Structure 1
Amino acid sequence: MAETEGQEQPRRSFDWNLLHTFMVIVQEGSITRAAERLLYRQPTVSNALRRLEEQLGKRLVDRGPGRFELTEHGSVLYRECQEICGSIGRLRQLLDDDGAELTGHLTIHMASHVAFSPLDETLAEFHARHPKVSLDIDIGTSSHVIASVLAKQATLGICLVHEKHPRLDYRLLYREHFGFFCGPRHRLFRRRGLSLEDLGGENFVSFRTDQLTDALRPVAMLRAQLPEQGPTVGTSSNLEEVRRMIVAGLGIGPLPIHVVEREVRDELLWRLPPYEEPPAVDIYVVTNPRATLGRAERLFLDALIARSGVEQLGPLVLPGNRRMAP
C-alpha cells in the first residue's frame, strides 16, 4: 500500500539519533551518567529526551528526586531500540561482505562455564580456513547473553536457559552436571564417606544465577534439600571467580564436574556429595531468527551446529532471493 504524504512526513523529520541517546539514558539510569558516556553536556541529553517524547507524543521516563523509572511506553520503546540499534550496528559488517575472500566479524556471548570441545574444534577449523574473520567473545550471565542476542548485538549466544524467549531460537548443545566442591583449607577437604546432611550449615559460594527462578534452578533445588541452609558468603557470574573463592576456603560451592577434573586430580578441589545423580543443566546455542547474518557469521554458525550434532539451520537467504548453501 502506498504511503500518504502525511505518513511520510513524520519519518522524514524524525531524528533517529534520539533513539540511541534514549537507549544510553535507560542503560545508565541517569541523565548525568548518560551525558558522561556520550561526551555530551547534561542539558543536551535532557533536551534529546524531551524532543523524543514530543515527537512520539508519549511520556517515556518518570523522573524526580531519587527516582528514574521507565513508563510503559518507555519500556516498549527501549525493547525496540535495542533491536534497531543492534541492526544499525551490523550494517557495515553486512555491506563489507562482497563475496570475495571471507572477512567479517563474529560476536559470541557466552556464560562463563561453557566447556565444550566441538566449540573449540569449530573455532580452530574456522580460523584456519578464514583467517581474516575476527572474533569477539563476551562473557556474562545467561540473562545478559539472551538480551544481547535479542538486541542483535551477538551473532549467537551459548548459555543456560531458564525460560525460552518466544522471539529466539534455541538448540541444545550439551548437558553438564554440577557437583559441590571445597578447597584445601576447608574442614571437609579429603573427608570420605560424607552425605548431603554433612553439608548443612556450611558457608556457601555460588553463581548469581543459583536461584529457584533462574538458570541454575537444579542446583538451587539441591541446596534446598540441605538440613540447614548456611549463609552465602560469595557470589560471582564468572566461573573462575567462584572457583577462586572455593579454593580459597570461603565456603563450599557448585562447579561443572567436567570442567574441574584437573583441579580434582591435583587436589586443589575436593568433590562433595551428592556423588550420584548430580544436578543437570542444559546448555543451548541461542540465535535470533530476525537477525540478518553476514556470510562469515552464517558459515560459522552452520559449522558449529553440524559439528555439535544439533538440528541444522535452513539456508541463508541473500538479497534478491539468492540462496547460499552452508
Structure 2
Amino acid sequence: MLEKSHDDAAAERVSGRLDWNLLRTFLVISQEKSISAAAIKLNVTQSAVSQALRRLEAHLDKRLIERHHSRFAITLAGEEVRRAAETIYGNVAELVSDVMQAKEEAIGRIHVLTASRIHSAVYDEFWSQFHRRYPRIEVNLDVRPSSEIVSILQRRGGTAGIGLCRQKPAALDSKIFLQQRYAIFCGANHHLYGRRDCQVEDLLGENFVSFSSDVFGDSLSPLAIFRDEQGFSGNIVATSSHHDEVKRLLIAGFGIGCLPEHSVKEDVGAGRLWRLPPEDGVCTVELHFLWNKTGHRSMAESLFIREFSEHLDRYTLDERLTSYLPGKPARLDNHK
C-alpha cells in the first residue's frame, strides 16, 4: 500500500476539521463583497463574520481576501474556496429538497385474523393494491373461528379481523363486509341429489353437516334457529369450522348442510353440489370487518384499517360478493 504524501495527509487533517458554517460565511462574503454587508445578510455581528473568515484562513493556511482601505479583492485561493463552497451549497440544497419531497415508506407488520375461505374479487383486489402501495409491510393472515377472532381482538391481540359477529362487543368498531345468503346443499353422493321436486318437508329427517359455530347463541345460530323452527329431526353427523371441510363432507354424501350461495356457484355448476329448498335460502349472515377502538397502533396497522375501510366504501354489498371485479370484464379460463 502506498503511503500518503505530506500534502495529502495535511489536506485530510484540514477537511476533517473544516466547518460548513465557515464556508457558508465566506460564500456570503464573496457574494456581498463586504464584511459588513455579509453580517447584515447573515443576521450576525460584523465581528462574528471577521472571526469566521480568520478561522477559515487559519484552517486552510491561505489568505482568501485582500483588504486595503476601500479595496476588496478575493485571492486566487479565495476563488477556489468560493467555487467549492458554491458546489457544496448546491449539493446541500438539493439534498434538503429531495428529503423534503421524499415520501415516507411505510414498514411494519400487520396481523389480520380472518374467517376461512372469503370469496370476493373486491377483497382479492384490495390485497393486490395494498401490496403495490406498501411493499414493505409484512402481512400475516391468520385463519381462526369467528368466536376466537372476536375474543382475540377484545384483548388487542391482532391488528383487525374479518368474521361473523352477531353481537358486537363495546370495545370493537366494525363495518359490514359481506352479506352472505346461506342455502341448503347436498353432494352428488346423496340420495336427494338432482331431485327437482324436492320440498322442505323432504329434508326434515335428513342428517346434517354443520359448521362448529352453528349452535344456539354462536355466530351462525340463525342456521340453528332455522332448523329448529322448521322441525328438522336429523342428527348432526359431521362438523368443521372451515368452509372447505364442510363442503368436502357434503360432497362426500355425509348429509345435507348450509353454505353461502355465492361461494359454491362453481361447485353447483360443475355438479359437485345440488341446491335444495327453500328457494329463497335459509338466512342472511353478515361478515364484519372488526378492529379494537383502543390501544396503540403502528403506522402499518393504522394504514391497513383506514385503507381497507375506504376500499369497502367504493363498492356496494352486492358488488363485494361477485367473483369478478366490478367495472372489469370477468376473466374467462380457457379449457382445452
TM-score bracket for the superposition, by shorter chain length? 0.5 to 0.7
Of 105, 112, 116 in structure 2, the residue corresponding to residue 108 of structure 1 is 112
Three-state SS of the structure 2 residue aligned to 1:106 is strand
- State the partner residue of 2:83: none
CA offset at residue 162 of structure 1?
A: 2.1
TM-score (norm 1): 0.62
Give per-residue Cα distances to partners, 1:104-155, cap 9 Å, x unaligned: 1111111114323332211110101211111111111111001121122211
What does residue 307 of structure 2 align with?
303
Q: Distance in 2 between matches of 1:136 and 1:142?
A: 17
Equivalent positions of 1:35-54 (< 5 A) are none
Contact 1:177/1:256 (CA < 8 Å) preserved in 2? Answer: yes
Q: Does 1:153 align with 2:124?
A: no
Q: Secondary structure at the match of 2:119?
A: coil
| 1:166 alignment partner, one of 144, 153, 170 | 170
| Deviations 1:41-71 (CA, angstroms, capped at 9, x unpaired) | xxxxxxxxxxxxxxxxxxxxxxxxxxxxxxx
* Rounded Cα–Cα distance in structure 1 between residues aligned with 2:113 and 2:295: 15
Tell me by how many angstroms 1:281 deviates: 0.4
Are the equivalent residues in 2 in contact too, given 1:113–1:256 (CA < 8 A)? no
Q: Residues of 1 paired with 2:232 and 2:123: CA distance?
A: 39
Aligned counterpart, 1:65: none
Equivalent residue of 1:224, what SS? helix
Amino acid in the other structure paired with 2:180: E
Aligned pairs for 1:194-213 within 5 A: 194-213=198-217
Structure 1 segments (4+ residues) deviating >4 Å: none
Return the alpha-carbon distance in structure 2 between the equivalents of residues 232 and 290 of structure 1.
40
How far is the alpha carbon of 1:264 from its aligned partner? 0.5
Q: Deviations over 1:163-215 (max 9, x none)?
A: 22111112112211101110010000011121111111111001011112111
- Over alpha carbons, which structure has the higher Rg? 2
Which of 244, 247, 264 is residue 243 of structure 1 equivalent to?
Answer: 247
Tell me how far 1:277 sits from its aligned partner. 4.7
Is the 1:118–1:304 Cα contact (8 Å) retained in structure 2?
A: no
Aligned length: 213
Indicate yes or no: 2:276 matched with 1:269: no
Q: For residue 216 of structure 1, what is the aligned residue in structure 2?
A: 220
Could you tell me how far apart the structure 2 residues matched to 1:143 and 1:175 are? 18
Inter-partner Cα distance in structure 1 for 2:267 and 2:283: 20
* Inter-partner Cα distance in structure 2 for 1:256 and 1:141: 16
In structure 1, C-alpha distance between the alignment counterparts of 2:140 and 2:186, rounded to whole Å: 33
Which residue of 2 is the match for residue 232 of structure 1? Answer: 236
Q: CA deviation at 1:309?
A: 1.3
Contact 2:182 2:281 in 1 (8 A): no
8 A Cα contact 2:165 2:288, kept in partner: yes
- Of the three residues 144, 163, 182, the one matched with 2:148 is 144
5+ residue gaps, structure 2: 1-102, 315-336
2:285 corresponds, among 278, 281, 284, to: 281
Conserved 8 A contact 2:187-2:193:
yes
C-alpha RMSD of the superposition: 1.8
Q: Which residue of 2 aligns with 1:175?
A: 179
Mapped contact 1:111–1:139 kept (Cα < 8 A) = yes
Partner deviation per Cα, 1:256-297 (whole Å, 9 max, x = no partner): 100011000001010111111531001111110113221122
Partner of 1:188: 192
Corresponding residue for residue 119 of structure 1: 123
User: Do 1:199 and 1:226's aligned partners in 2 also have CA atoms closer than 8 Å?
Assistant: no
In 2, Cα distance between the equivalents of 1:260 and 1:170? 26
User: Partners of 1:174 and 1:137 in 2: how far apart?
Assistant: 18
Does the CA contact (< 8 Å) of 1:114 and 1:158 recur in 2?
A: no
**TM-score, normalization: structure 2?**
0.61
Ranges in structure 1 where 5+ consecutive residues have no aligned partner: 1-98, 311-326
Q: Aligned partners of 2:244, 2:176: CA distance in 1, in Å?
A: 24
Q: Which amino acid aligns with 1:262?
A: E
Question: Partners of 2:281 and 2:208 in 1: how far apart?
Answer: 21
Tell me if the contact between 2:222 and 2:283 (Cα under 8 Å) persists in the aligned partners: yes
Provide the rounded CA distance (Å) in 2 between the counterparts of 1:154 and 1:116. Answer: 22
- Deviation string for 1:66-92 (max 9, x for gaps)? xxxxxxxxxxxxxxxxxxxxxxxxxxx
Structure 2: which amino acid aligns with 1:237? S
| 1:190–1:270 Cα contact (<8 Å) kept | yes
